[in-house]
Amino acid sequence: MSKLSHIDADNRPTMVDVSHKEATMREAHAQASVRLPKEIVRHISGGEIGTRKGPVFATAIIAGVMAAKKTHELIPFCHPIGLDDCKITISMSGDDAVVECRCKVHHRTGVEMEALTGASVAALTIYDMLKAMSHDIVISETRLMVKSGGKQDYQRV
């Protein structure tokens, strides 16, 4: 079994020292699915759901980008990084709102946690804005799809 990166020699939690690493272009793509009940899907018009709280998907995109930028404030050992780019898209696949978050940075550490955080918070925002219509909303399958630029690349097959 490989050594955990966030545990020091004395078995205590610690932040990974990245000072010796070379800065490279790092990219990550994460996805979250939000299953919407039929009574909500019927309200989608022009790729958006309008509610008294405002446009659901547009608000979720903003919330997801904001969260990705603050990942280091939410996940204890994530390094603070200034994202070079963060794009969130939301599309429908059947009854699922599919949230895609793509992050990019030129840094010594990767951006997969930022992409996962952005996709997760966008999905949670969709739930929050639609819960008055139904509590039968299911957030599922938040996952890393692709990461590149670090020690090893990853692509979900």
Q: Is 20 exposed, middle or buried (0-12, 13-18, 19+ CB in 10 A)?
A: exposed
Distance of alpha carbon 17 from alpha carbon 141, whole angstroms? 31
Q: Record the tokens describing residue 113, joined without a space.
A: 């946690």
Answer yes or no: 128 catalytic.
Answer: yes
Look up residue 134 and give its amino acid.
Answer: S
**Residue of 10, 128, 136, 153 marked active site:** 128
Give the angle 114-111-19 at the CA atoms, nearest 5°: 125
Amino acid at 10: D
DSSP bridge pairs for 31: 100, 143
- The catalytic site residues sit at 128
